[in-house]
Amino acid sequence: MKTCKICGGKHLAKGLCSKHYQQLPEVKAKLREYYQKPEYKARRREYYQKPEYKAKQREYQRKPENREKKREYNRKYYQKPEVKARWRKYMREYHQKPEYKARRREQAELKKTITEYHTLLKKKKPSRTEILRLEALADILGRDIEEWRTERMRKDYHERMDFSQRFEKRSGQP
């Protein structure tokens, strides 16, 4: 049986094993050319979309030792000055985009609306205009305030009953 001249592994061609054969310059050039063909790229793309492949990758990435390897690699990679500079440049450009600015403005308005909504919900005795504003905010946010409304009515009823009972006790009438 033939063996590799370099490592003694299983022979493939020209007296070399697969690993050492693929390191030859002419073989490297052929492989590079082959990997650039659209048919090869289409086949690889199709393979990467298969559920079996994705499940296998998910399983691999879930293993703690592999997650730690990836974390360590990222830690080292993102500490490189050229990577940091490239990332900073990209983020500066990204934050200047009108779509990003519009989204941020929209998020700020939504946060402000939600804050106002919760502030009005917590009020003990909201005025009529505050209740109307609360209803409008609930419509904007797509929230149901029916539960809040019934709870509020129940509290008002109990407060009135407590007041009337206290008044009756003071006046001495049953």
In this predicted model, what pLDDT tens digit does every residue of 10-23 receive, in sequence order? 998 999 999 999 99
Instruction: Output 15 or 171, whichever has higher pLDDT.
Output: 15
Please report which confidence band the pLDDT of residue 174 belongs to, taking 50, 70 and 90 as the band edges. Answer: low
The whole model's pTM is what?
0.44
The pLDDT of residue 83: 96
pLDDT, tens only, 61-80:
999 999 999 999 999 999 99
C-beta of residue 66 within 8 angstroms of C-beta of residue 60: yes
pLDDT, tens only, 74-130:
999 999 999 999 999 999 999 999 999 999 999 999 899 888 888 888 887 788 888
Domain range list for the chain: 1-49, 61-96, 99-143, 146-174
The pLDDT of residue 142: 81
Q: Rounded distance, CA 76 to CA 23, Å?
A: 28
- pLDDT above 80 (res 40): yes
- pLDDT above 60 (res 46): yes
The pLDDT of residue 171: 59
Picking from 14, 23, 16, the residue whose alpha carbon sits closest to that of residue 6 is 16
The pLDDT of residue 91: 95
pLDDT, tens only, 143-153:
777 777 777 77
Average pLDDT over all residues of the chain: 88
The pLDDT of residue 29: 96
